[in-house]
Structure 1
Amino acid sequence: MADILKVTTPMSGYDNSTIKNNPQAGQGPQIQNPVDPSKVMRGDNRTDSGGNQEQQLAFQYRSNFGTFLNLIKNSPDITRIFSDVFFQGEEMLTGGVMGEEAARQIASFFKASQMKEEDVLGFLKEQAESSVRFNGGIFDQLRQVMAETGSVDLKADILNFIKKFNDMSSGKHILHDIFNTVKDMEGYVFKQTASQLEEMLKELDLSAKEGDTQSNSALLKEKILPFMGRYIATNHDMGTVRDKISLLSVLMARYENGNREDVLQAFAKLTGYQGFRRHFGSTTAEEFGELLGQVDMEQAAGKNQWSDKFIEFLRTGVSGGAGLENRQTFLNIIQSLVVNESVYMPILHLAFPMEINGKKLFSEMWIDPDEEGSSTQAGAQRIARIFIKFEIAELGPFKLLMLYGDNTSSLQLYYPEKLKKSETSIQKGIKSILEKNHLRSDRIILQAGEGPSSLVSVFPKIQERKNTVDVRI
C-alpha cells in the first residue's frame, strides 16, 4: 500500500512515541517560496516587483485594466470582418436564407449607407457629434471650468452633475431597457409568477418624460423588485433570473439618478463655487431648469437615425437573420465595438460603412483630440492624433496616421502593395485634398504594406494606467 502520509516505520517497531517524518524533499530549482505552515507565505514564484516579464504580464491580466489591454490585443479586426460582410451587399438578401423582416432590416441599412460625395463631410460631422454625449454651450463652459480650476471638490461636483444629466437625458432609453429586462424574466419563472409580473409591468409608464422618474421608480422599488426577491428566496432560483435582477438593479439606480429635481440640485450646488460663477455668472437653478425644457433630450442622449439602422443591422445578424454561418461574424463585430467603447478607452472611436457613387468602403477611425494634454493649459496649442483604417472594394486595406494642429498637419499613409506603381498619383491626390480644405502639410509619407498592427502602438496613452493600482471586482 502506498504510504500516503509519508511516514516511516521506526526500526524498533510501531511505537507512536518514536514515529519520525521523512526528511523534507529537496526543493526544486523553480520553487522560490517553499510552504511553511508556521508563516503566511506568498504563492510560489511570486514577488512584489520582481519576477520575469511573463509573470508580471499574467498578473496584470487578472486586473480589470489588464483584461482590457488583453482584449485590445486580441480584439477581432472589425475593418476586415465588416468589409467582408458589407461588400457582399445584395447577395445577403438574395441568398434565400432570411425571412422578410430580416431582409427589410438589412436592405434599410444598405440604403442608408448610400450617399453622394458632397454628403460625406456632413455625415462624418453628424456621427462625430452624436458620439460626443456632452456638447453645446453649457458643456463647453464646464470643460473650461474643469481645465482652469484646481479644486478637487469642484471637479467632483461637475462630474456628479454630468452623470445625473446623462442619466436624465437617457431616461427613456433606460426605461425601455428596464421594461425589456422585466419582460425577459417572465420566460424564466413559473406561469403564475409570470402573470403577476405581467400585471405589475402594465403599470410602468413608458411615456414618462425624461426626469419624471418618481412614479416609475416607486413601482420598481416597492413592488417589482421586492416581488422578485421573494420569488428567489422561496424557490432558491440562483440562475438567470437572479442575474437579470442584478441588471435590473443597475438600470433602476441609473433611472432614479436622472430625476429632474436631483439634476437641478446638482447644478445649484455648483453655483456655490467661484470658479463656476466666473463662467456662468449669476445663473440660478431655476433659470437652468428653464433651459432644460428647451433641450432636445434625444440628441443629448446621442440618438442618431443612421446609428439606429446600424444597430438593427447588427441585431439581425446576431439573431441569425443573415444566415447562421454569419452569426459569429456579427458577434465579433459587436465585441470589437464594445471594447472600443470601454471606460478605459481614452480616445474617440467611429466606425461606418459607406457607398459613395456606387463604390463601397468601410472605415474605422480613432481620434485623440488632445494628443499632449495641452487643452488643460491656457493658451497651449491643441494637437489631434487621428488613426484611420479603411478598406475599399477591389483595392484593399489602407491605414492613415495623421497629426493635426493649428491648420497644419503631417500624415503617413500605408496602402496595398499592388498600388505601388500609383504612389505618385496618390501623393498628388492627397495634396489636392489638403489644399482644397485649406490645410498645410509639413510632411506626407507614403508606404506600401500593412502598417501598424496594434492600436496601442499608435496611441501609447491607452496604457497610461498600467503602473497604477488596479484590481478586479
Structure 2
Amino acid sequence: MPDNLRITPPVTNNENINKIPITKQPGPMTPIDPSKVVQPNTDKQGDTNARFEFLLNRNSVFSKFLEQLNQTPALSETLQKFTFEAFSRPENVHDNRSAALFMKELTAAMKMESADILKNLTFQSNNRTKFTGSIFDVLRNTLNEYPGDRNLEQAISDFLKAYDGYFSTADTTQTIAKELDTLSHQIPNSYSKQLKELTEEVITDQPVKGLDLNLSVLKEKIIPLLSKYITASNDYGTARDTITLLVHNLARLNISSHQEVVETFTALLDYCKYELNLPEPKMNELKSMFLKTVTEASQKPANPLFDSLMKVLSENMKQSSSGVTQSLYRDTLTSLLLDNSVYMPFNHIFLPINYNGQFMFTEIWIEKENEKKKSGKGNAEAGGAPIHLYLTFDIKKLGYFEAAVSFSNGKADIQLNCPPSLEKDRRAISEKIGDIFTRNGLTAQSIELVTGKSAGTEKQILRKVYERKNVIDVTV
C-alpha cells in the first residue's frame, strides 16, 4: 500500500512559482492586403528593379550577369576606339616598345581584301568554342536523341572537361605561375620566401611533359604551405582570393592529362555501346572522328588579326599608366568575356577592317541554334525555323549602318538602316543588296531600307538577353 502512495514535497506559499502557461487559441486570420505588403528595397535596386521586376533573386548568377552587362560599355565603344587609333596613327619605326610593335602587327593585319574579310569572319565563327568539329556535332545529336539521360550527360561532361583541360594545359600552367608570383607579394616574408623556392620547381616551359611533376609540387608542397598559412593567419583578404583562384586552376590542371582524355572517351564509348546499343559502324565512326579532332586541336590555328589583337590587349593592360586607357582595355576584355556567357543567345563576331584605306568596324550577332529551334516551333511545316542575324557596321566618313536579316529556305528578309546622306541612293542600294544575295545562292525576298532613325538592333539583342532569365544555354 505505501508503494502506491505518491509522495511529493510540500507546496510552498511563494507567489513567484512559475505557472504553466495557458495555450491561447489563435484568433481568426486577417486577410492580407496586397497593397500594404512591404515593398522591396527599391533604393538599392534603383532602375534595375524597374527593368527586371520579375527577377526575384537579386543575388543570382543571371542577375550578376545583367549587372555586369549594364555597367560595361558596348564593344563598339571600346574595341573600335583603339583599333581606329591603330589605323590612323603614323608608324614610328624607332619605337621598339613591345606594345608599339603589337600595334604595328595589328595595323598590318587590319588591311584586308574581300577574300581576307571572309577568311577572318569564318575563322571567328569556326573557332568561337573549343568544342567545334564533327565529333561534337555527333555528341550534340546523341543528346537530342536521348533527352533526360543523366548518365549520358555525365559521361559527355567528363569527356569535355578532360578534353578542355588537356588542350589548355599550357595556359593553365602559365596562369598558376602568375598566381603564385602574385601571392608571394601578398603574404608575409616568412611564407613568401618558402613559396618562391617551391615555385621555382614548377615547370612552365614544357607544361605537358612536366604535368605530373607540377601536380606533385602543387598538391604535396605548395598547397600544404598555403593551408598552414591560412590556419595560422586566418587571412580573408586579397591573398585568400588569390588562393581560391589557384585552387580552382589546380583542380582544372588535375584532369588535364592525356590519359584522362582517353579514359573518359573510352568510358563514353562503352556507355554508347552497351547502354545505348549503338551499332558497330557508328562506334568506329566516333573513334575516327575523335582521332581527327585530337590531331587538329593539337595544331593550334593561327589568325594574324586575332592573335595581334589579343597581344595588344594583354600588353597594354600591363604597361599602360593611364587610368583611361586601362579602363578602355578592361572594358573591352569584359565585353569579350560576356559575349561568351551561357546567357548570351547569340554568337558574336566582330571585325575591324582597313579596306582600301577606309576604316570600318563591324559586328554580327547570329542567333544560336537552340534559340532558332524555340522560335520555329510553329514553323515546322514551312521548312524549319528561320535563322536571325543582326549586323552593324560603322564606316568612317560615311556613317553608321544596321541590318536585321531573317533566313528561311534560301530566302531572306532584310531590314537595313542607312545614314541620312544615302537617302538619294536607296534604289541603287536595294539593287546591290539583291545582287549580293543572288551571287551567294539566296533570294532577297524583301528589302526594307530606312534612313535616319536607328533600327534598334541593340534593343533587339538586349531583349533576347533578358528572355534568358528562366533559361540557361548549356550547348557547348
TM-score category, normalised to shorter length: 0.7 to 0.9
Structure 1 residue 269, shift from structure 2 partner: 2.3
Aligned mates of 2:365, 2:389 — CA distance in 1: 6
Q: In structure 2, what is the equivalent of residue 225 of structure 1? A: 223
Q: Say yes or no: does 1:77 pair with 2:74.
A: yes
Stretch moving more, 147-156 or 239-248:
147-156
Stretch moving more, 175-184 or 82-91:
82-91
Structure 1 residue 297, shift from structure 2 partner: 2.7
Aligned mates of 2:77, 2:230 — CA distance in 1: 45
Could you list the per-position Cα deviations for residues 39-83 of structure 1 after superposition, in whole angstroms to 9, with x for gaps in the alignment? xxx9899xxxxxx96683574544221232344345412214433
Q: Say yes or no: does 1:438 pair with 2:441.
A: yes
Q: In structure 1, what is the equivalent of residue 393 of structure 2? A: 390
Return the match for 2:63 from 38, 42, 66.
66
Distance 1:289-1:351 versus aligned 2 partners, 3 A rule: closer
Aligned mates of 1:59, 1:87 — CA distance in 2: 42
Equivalences for residues 158-177 of structure 1 within 5 A: 158-177=156-175
Could you list the per-position Cα deviations for residues 335-394 of structure 1 after superposition, in whole angstroms to 9, with x for gaps in the alignment? 222221223223211222111222111112211142431799999635322112211111
Aligned mates of 1:327, 1:93 — CA distance in 2: 22
Q: In structure 2, what is the equivalent of residue 143 of structure 1? A: 140
Distance 1:115-1:468 versus aligned 2 partners, 3 A rule: closer
Give the TM-score taking structure 1 as reference length.
0.78
CA contact (8 A) 1:115 1:355 kept: yes
CA contact (8 A) 1:320 1:326 kept: no
CA RMSD of aligned residues (A): 3.7
Aligned mates of 2:287, 2:436 — CA distance in 1: 49
Aligned mates of 1:337, 1:168 — CA distance in 2: 23
Q: In structure 2, what is the equivalent of residue 124 of structure 1? A: 121
Stretch moving more, 241-250 or 274-283:
274-283
Structure 1 residue 32, shift from structure 2 partner: 3.5
Aligned mates of 1:415, 1:279 — CA distance in 2: 56
Question: Which secondary structure does the structure 2 equivalent of 1:344 belong to?
Answer: coil
Give the TM-score taking structure 2 as reference length.
0.77
Q: In structure 2, what is the equivalent of residue 366 of structure 1? A: 365
Equivalences for residues 19-418 of structure 1 within 5 A: 32=36, 56-57=53-54, 59-89=56-86, 92=89, 100-150=97-147, 151-208=149-206, 210=208, 213-271=211-269, 272-273=271-272, 274-275=275-276, 277-278=278-279, 281-283=282-284, 294-297=295-298, 299=300, 304-319=303-318, 321=320, 324-370=323-369, 371-373=371-373, 381=384, 383-418=386-421
Aligned mates of 1:463, 1:311 — CA distance in 2: 29
Computing the radius of gyration from Cα coordinates, the structure with the larger value is 2
Distance 1:305-1:108 versus aligned 2 partners, 3 A rule: closer
Ranges in structure 2 where 5+ consecutive residues have no aligned partner: 1-32, 43-48
Ranges in structure 1 where 5+ consecutive residues have no aligned partner: 1-28, 35-41, 46-51
Structure 1 residue 284, shift from structure 2 partner: 10
Structure 1 residue 279, shift from structure 2 partner: 8.3
CA contact (8 A) 2:410 2:443 kept: yes
Distance 1:295-1:316 versus aligned 2 partners, 3 A rule: closer
CA contact (8 A) 1:92 1:322 kept: no
CA contact (8 A) 1:413 1:446 kept: yes
Distance 1:132-1:375 versus aligned 2 partners, 3 A rule: farther
Aligned mates of 2:71, 2:329 — CA distance in 1: 16
CA contact (8 A) 1:387 1:401 kept: yes
Distance 1:277-1:169 versus aligned 2 partners, 3 A rule: farther
Distance 1:77-1:418 versus aligned 2 partners, 3 A rule: farther
- Return the letter of the residue paired with 1:400: A
Matched residue pairs, number?
A: 425
Structure 1 residue 177, shift from structure 2 partner: 0.9
Structure 1 residue 207, shift from structure 2 partner: 4.3
Stretch moving more, 107-116 or 270-279:
270-279
Distance 1:31-1:110 versus aligned 2 partners, 3 A rule: same
Stretch moving more, 281-290 or 326-335:
281-290
Structure 1 residue 243, shift from structure 2 partner: 0.9
